[in-house]
Structure 1
Amino acid sequence: MKKLLVSAFIFMLLSCAPKLKSNITTTLPLLSGKEVIVVLDIIDDQSIPVSKVGELQATDSGLSENCSYYQNIQSLKKMARASGANLIKITKHKRPDNWSTCHRLWATIYKVENPQAYESQIEWTQDRKLTWDDFKGEPDILNFPNALAVTNSGFSYESARNLFKDGKLYVQSVFSTYQSWVLAKGRNDYVLRHEQIHFDLTEIYTRKLRKAFSDAKINSNKLREAKLIFDKISSELEFKQDQYDAETQSGSKQDIQEKWEAIVVIELAKYDLYKSN
């Protein structure tokens, strides 16, 4: 009787966190939690003064989770803050493919005097209010002949690809600095308050979108349903923005403007549970 040696090979797919690496060449004190950290995308060609702090990486070994673009940007921000850097320039970006489930990012980090001067997008936060310096676009009086200022803000979502479990969807509301503008005669606190409410309305509907995704148990395997919900909430936001301008006459009716400001405070508090991903 011939003996057969049977070997059982068990392959296990191990879910790993992304690999985070840093090469810090300049030692600086860490930044406080409230200090702004600006991220410049790979296509952003702004000139940055020589103030390099080091280099960062957020990569993986092929099969990782928690490494969507949004998640890895948050990881880079944490590393930059710990290194005393306030500006992150993405230098290389590899998207998920057959070899990796991750957005792999390489970046150079800097310490600059005024990081907000480099912002092309501003993510909504409670403490970060708009200033006129954030309106960097050229006035478009042809398409907006009666406007003193125009705010361009919106929301988007990203699906985290995951081989091991249903991936989460991440939602962000942002203000686009180079697509927002103001005329010289509109640079006053009252008009700025009006424009801030436009951004606040975007944040309210961003939170509504997060809630709708949560209520419908939306994940990376339900992207068709996610798109339907996104389109519905987007339409509601567009209607609300138009209603706000119409009722306040673009901010000229002060009593109605103050009413909307009160409504925004209430609505932000109502959806406070959904203020973050």
Structure 2
Amino acid sequence: MIFNKFKYFIKASSLGSLFTVTTKRKLSTYLLLTFIFTACAPKLKSNLNQSFTPLSQNALVVVLDITDDQIIASKNIGELKAVDNGFSENCTYYETVENLKRLARAAGANLIRITKQKNPDKWSTCHRLWAEAFKVENPQAYETHIEWRADRKLTWDDFKGEPDLENFPEALAVTNSGFSYETGINLFKKGKVFVKSMFNTNLSWVLPQGRTDFILRHEQVHFDITEIYSRKLRKELADAGITSENITKGKPIFDRISIQLQKRQDKYDRETKRGSKQETQENWEAIIEIELAKYDLYKTND
């Protein structure tokens, strides 16, 4: 099995600074198997000591990765796991996390923390995950990454990072957002490609004097622009027929969209004077709303 994941992140500041860009690529190759077998779905299991009213299918479930050491102000209500018999379908990391979130919602949990992780290897084509489930009062307080959603606007509480005035001496606020895509080869069919648009809460920050509604609107548009180019990436990968079988052909598309995103973010800051020109800011907000609607068909990985 081959697993690919590409990431592109930008750091945008209001009222004074440039973007910084980092690009990461991870490629792991696993043993190909020569015997015949049949496919099955991943095994999903919950072991609960307490349950609550199930959540709606779109309710927020915060996922903390295995390295996250936040103290959770609630007792865990049980354990969740997604494993397989060795050769399951639809079990990339993205899909496995989504499966755990569905288990959590069914139990009324709104936060899960990964406690154990096994990557695909010669024994399994799947990502296998174990997690603790929690029911907390305010799940957003624990978010480290926020996936873009139309009904989930940024608040100043999402800017949890420490101000970096050495690198951004004139900034009042800094937004760190980006997109990534990943796929895994499925031994029984072509593996899908999954694109995500994310806001990093721990690398985004604001100074006390920057906590205004207007500057927050400016930062939201930075995230919205990232979402537009995530949708463009999703569309172009689909139009090019990119799957797990030809994933390397998607890298030039990814690089080109990443460059376009950076140029657009730069233009946005330049024309709005990093949020200080109100009329221009409002014009940009209208344009971005139209563009989000234009790419509405590509807002999900379905």
TM range (shorter): over 0.9
Which of 159, 166, 169 is the aligned partner of 2:190? 166
Which of 276, 279, 282 is the aligned partner of 1:255? 279
Q: Could you tell me how far 1:165 is from its partner in structure 2?
A: 1.5
Alpha carbons of structure 1 residues 206 and 60: separation in structure 2 relative to 1, 3 Å: same
Q: Distance in 1 between matches of 2:156 and 2:61?
A: 19
Q: Which has the larger radius of gyration?
A: 1
Structure 2 unaligned runs (5+)?
A: 1-34
Over the matched positions of the two proteins, sequence identity in percent amounts to 64
Q: Distance in 2 between matches of 1:50 and 1:167?
A: 38
Q: Is 2:28 aligned against 1:28?
A: no
Partner of 2:30: none
The answer to whether the Cα contact below 8 Å between 1:102 and 1:161 also exists between their aligned partners in 2 is no
Which of 102, 107, 125 is the aligned partner of 1:101? 125
Partner of 1:231: 255
Q: Could you tell me how far 1:145 is from its partner in structure 2?
A: 1.5
Q: Distance in 2 between matches of 1:272 and 1:146?
A: 36
Name the amino acid aligned to 2:207.
L
Deviations 1:224-266 (A, max 9, x none): 2111111110111011111100000001011110111011111
SS in 2 for 1:162: coil
Q: Could you tell me how far 1:34 is from its partner in structure 2?
A: 4.9
Q: Is 2:134 aligned against 1:110?
A: yes
Q: Distance in 2 between matches of 1:134 and 1:77?
A: 21
TM-score, L = length of structure 2 = 0.87
Which of 84, 95, 99 is the aligned partner of 1:75? 99
Q: Could you tell me how far 1:49 is from its partner in structure 2?
A: 2.8
Partner of 1:271: 295
Q: Could you tell me how far 1:50 is from its partner in structure 2?
A: 3.8
SS in 1 for 2:267: helix
Q: Is 2:151 aligned against 1:127?
A: yes
The answer to whether the Cα contact below 8 Å between 2:88 and 2:126 also exists between their aligned partners in 1 is yes
SS in 1 for 2:41: coil
TM-score, L = length of structure 1 = 0.94
Name the amino acid aligned to 1:221.
E
Output the aligned Cα RMSD: 1.1
Name the amino acid aligned to 2:194.
Y
Which of 210, 230, 242 is the aligned partner of 1:186? 210
Name the amino acid aligned to 2:121.
D
More strand by share: 2
Q: Distance in 1 between matches of 2:172 and 2:221?
A: 15
Q: Could you tell me how far 1:221 is from its partner in structure 2?
A: 1.6
Structure 1 unaligned runs (5+)?
A: 1-10
Q: Distance in 1 between matches of 2:237 and 2:59?
A: 31
The answer to whether the Cα contact below 8 Å between 1:19 and 1:58 also exists between their aligned partners in 2 is yes
Q: Distance in 2 between matches of 1:147 and 1:173?
A: 24
Name the amino acid aligned to 2:203.
Q
SS in 2 for 1:151: strand
Name the amino acid aligned to 2:197.
S
Q: Distance in 2 between matches of 1:124 and 1:260?
A: 19
Q: Could you tell me how far 1:31 is from its partner in structure 2?
A: 1.6
Question: How many residues align structurally?
Answer: 267
Which of 60, 64, 77 is the aligned partner of 1:40? 64
Q: Could you tell me how far 1:141 is from its partner in structure 2?
A: 1.2
Deviations 1:1-22 (A, max 9, x none): xxxxxxxxxx752111111011
The answer to whether the Cα contact below 8 Å between 1:156 and 1:172 also exists between their aligned partners in 2 is yes
Q: Is 2:236 aligned against 1:212?
A: yes
SS in 2 for 1:23: strand
